[in-house]
Amino acid sequence: MKVAFNSTKITPKDFIGKPMAGYSRKDPCLGKLDDIHAYGVLLNINNGNNNNYLLMISVDILKLPLSIVEYIKKRLILKFKSLNPDEIFLHATHTHSSFDLTGEFYYPGGALGFIKGVMFADNKNDRFIVRITNRIVRMVSKLFEDLEPCTIAWKKESFNPDIVLNRRWPTRKVLPDLGVIAFKKLEDNKIIGIIINYSCHPTTLSYKNDKLSADFPGRVISIIDDLTSGSIKAIYFNGPSGDLNPITTSGTNLEKIEKDKTISYDQLGTYKHTKKIGYSIGEEALKVAKSIPKKDYSTLTEVDINTKRFLIPQKDAKYYSKVWFSNKAKWVLKKYFLFKIAKFDYKSVNFPFFTVERKNLKNYGKTVIHFIKFTAGNGNTFGIITIPGELFEDIGKTLISHAPTKKENTLIFQNTQDWIGYLFPLEMYIKEGGYEPFMCFSPLCGAYIENNAKKLLKEINDKS
């Protein structure tokens, strides 16, 4: 078994004036707080019978839709013949202070600019996407060169030193899992690098921020680099955090926030908050990695990648409640107006933000989920569930409970391989409503993702 870590800076030289993604801002990028990067970790598992690879890449971008992921994969496979598509995983950290790749944030001017972008912005950022891809290809080339023998171990703990709250249910006790997968050199037992998995929206910087930043995931990496003088590499993957916001200027009086949720939604966090939260997560992740006993380390004997591709219908749920009219108005506006006018078939556009398939005169969104099962030489197993969107906390907990690996040995990487939308429980949509349906391919995305993930996990369980 071998591993390699690497990263590449993807900040463009002409970053001033580029459209930023995540909020309907009035201005484009006007400065820089820190650089954005793509990070990679490459595993080579050679058990004598098979020589398999697993490549995981995390990018400081709001989202990577399926079409962009497939483009990057094609470029990688063209260069590296030993890789196959299902061995490559691309993740967006979801920073709201990076650049727009998909067009809907192209026009400044607040909400009206956003709507104009959804309707008319056939992607104008293709050159930047190609540049990112070129950098990733060079980074992966270096990963293949740097592969070295290693052992692996993992550990999870609940972690929330008042840095995360649930914006939908503020008084709920939020205890996200901090997952760490650590790799040690075979020859001297020193840590080579760590994979970090935590659940929090990268929105420490508010909608008023107009400067480029990787947000707190970037500071997680930087503090580990500082604390270890660069000897330990790190890569960050966001967990289920569709409804989990950072605590910046809202304070921690959750009862007060419950009465007025705008206190959470309208936080005005600064770079000071970005560093505080990033450093807190990074320092704890390093502590967790160093606390893993030597006896828990082993080599991997097998990596089993399970894939499920499916279609999501473009329709609304059948129900009636006090928020029905508000939800229906948004959905009708999107489906019968914005979606019709926008170039969602994208026959002439390289990188759409939904991959749409037309069947029987109806639109369906194409997407994909995975379960990666790792089996170590000591008999221990752990798993990673990949989810193509912003998964709400409740669904994340449900999926982990259905995984064929134990709860303490299972992680979820959201915004991986695609971005199909906010993935919220149907019950929340029916009872609470909100802006999320406007952003998704369909209000049913969460339910379809949950049900198909459960089916995939059940199939794996039944085979075991």
pTM of the model: 0.96
What dihedral angle (degrees, nearest 10) is formed by the CA atoms of 135, 94, 71, 124? -90
Q: What is the DSSP string of 289-351?
A: HHHS-GGG-B-EEEEEEEEEEEEEES-------TTHHHHHHHHHHIIIIIHHHTTTT-TT-S-
Burial of 251 (0-12, 13-18, 19+ CB in 10 A): middle
Tell whether the torsion through CA atoms of 15, 16, 17 and 21 is positive or negative. positive
CA atoms of 330 and 327, how far apart (whole Å): 5
Range of the domain at 346: 301-463
Tell whether the torsion through CA atoms of 276, 282, 286 and 287 is positive or negative. positive
pLDDT for the residue numbered 25: 87
Average pLDDT over residues 269-290: 98
In a domain, 312, yes or no: yes
In a domain, 411, yes or no: yes
Burial of 340 (0-12, 13-18, 19+ CB in 10 A): exposed
In a domain, 440, yes or no: yes
CA atoms of 362 and 394, how far apart (whole Å): 30
Question: Residue 119's CB: how many other CB atoms inside 10 A?
Answer: 17
Helix (H, G, I), strand (E, B) or coil at 400: helix
pLDDT for the residue numbered 445: 94
Average pLDDT over residues 354-364: 87
Burial of 453 (0-12, 13-18, 19+ CB in 10 A): buried
Burial of 341 (0-12, 13-18, 19+ CB in 10 A): exposed
283 torsion bin: left (phi>0), alpha (psi -120 to 50), beta (else): alpha
In a domain, 381, yes or no: yes
Average pLDDT over residues 22-27: 88
Q: Which helix (H) or strand (E) segment is 73 a member of?
A: helix 66-79
In a domain, 323, yes or no: yes
Closest CA to 278 of 239, 251, 252, 246: 246
Asked if pLDDT for residue 458 goes beyond 80, the answer is yes
Average pLDDT over residues 374-402: 96
How sure is the predictor about 112, in pLDDT bands with cuts at 50, 70 and 90? Answer: confident
In a domain, 380, yes or no: yes
Average pLDDT over residues 57-79: 96
Asked if pLDDT for residue 451 goes beyond 50, the answer is yes
Burial of 252 (0-12, 13-18, 19+ CB in 10 A): exposed
Instruction: Give the length of the chain.
Output: 464
32 vs 339 pLDDT, higher one: 32
- First-to-last alpha carbon distance for the chain, in angstroms, is 24
Closest CA to 310 of 370, 390, 268, 258: 370
Helix (H, G, I), strand (E, B) or coil at 184: strand
Longest Cα–Cα distance of the chain, Å, equals 64
Asked if pLDDT for residue 77 goes beyond 90, the answer is yes
Task: List the single range of 47-51, 237-241, 431-435 with lowest mean pLDDT.
Answer: 47-51
* CB-based contacts of 134, cutoff 8 Å, min separation 6: none
In a domain, 344, yes or no: yes
pLDDT for the residue numbered 336: 82
Identify each DSSP E strand in 75-169 by its residue range: 88-92, 148-158, 164-166
Q: What's the structural domain count of the chain?
A: 1
CA atoms of 159 and 167, how far apart (whole Å): 18
pLDDT for the residue numbered 348: 47
Beta bridge partners of residue 157, listed in sequence order:
178
Average pLDDT over residues 348-370: 83
Asked if pLDDT for residue 96 goes beyond 90, the answer is yes
In a domain, 101, yes or no: no
Average pLDDT over residues 395-423: 96
Closest CA to 3 of 190, 179, 143, 136: 143
Burial of 360 (0-12, 13-18, 19+ CB in 10 A): exposed
Average pLDDT over residues 306-325: 93
Q: What is the pLDDT of residues 141-190, one digit of tens each?
A: 999 999 999 999 999 999 999 999 999 999 999 999 999 999 999 989 99
Asked if pLDDT for residue 9 goes beyond 70, the answer is yes
How sure is the predictor about 119, in pLDDT bands with cuts at 50, 70 and 90? Answer: low
Closest CA to 33 of 269, 366, 374, 249: 269
* CB-based contacts of 20, cutoff 8 Å, min separation 6: 28, 29, 97, 98, 99, 100, 105, 210, 212
Helix (H, G, I), strand (E, B) or coil at 41: strand
Average pLDDT over residues 365-389: 95
pLDDT for the residue numbered 285: 98
Q: Write the single-letter amino acid at 419.
A: W
Q: What is the pLDDT of residues 179-216, one digit of tens each?
A: 999 999 998 999 999 999 999 999 999 999 999 999 99
Q: Pairing state of beta strands 300-313 and 362-376?
A: antiparallel
- % the chain with pLDDT above 70: 94
Average pLDDT over residues 293-318: 94
Asked if pLDDT for residue 51 goes beyond 70, the answer is yes
Task: List the single range of 4-13, 15-24, 406-415 with lowest mean pLDDT.
Answer: 15-24
Average pLDDT of every residue of the chain = 92
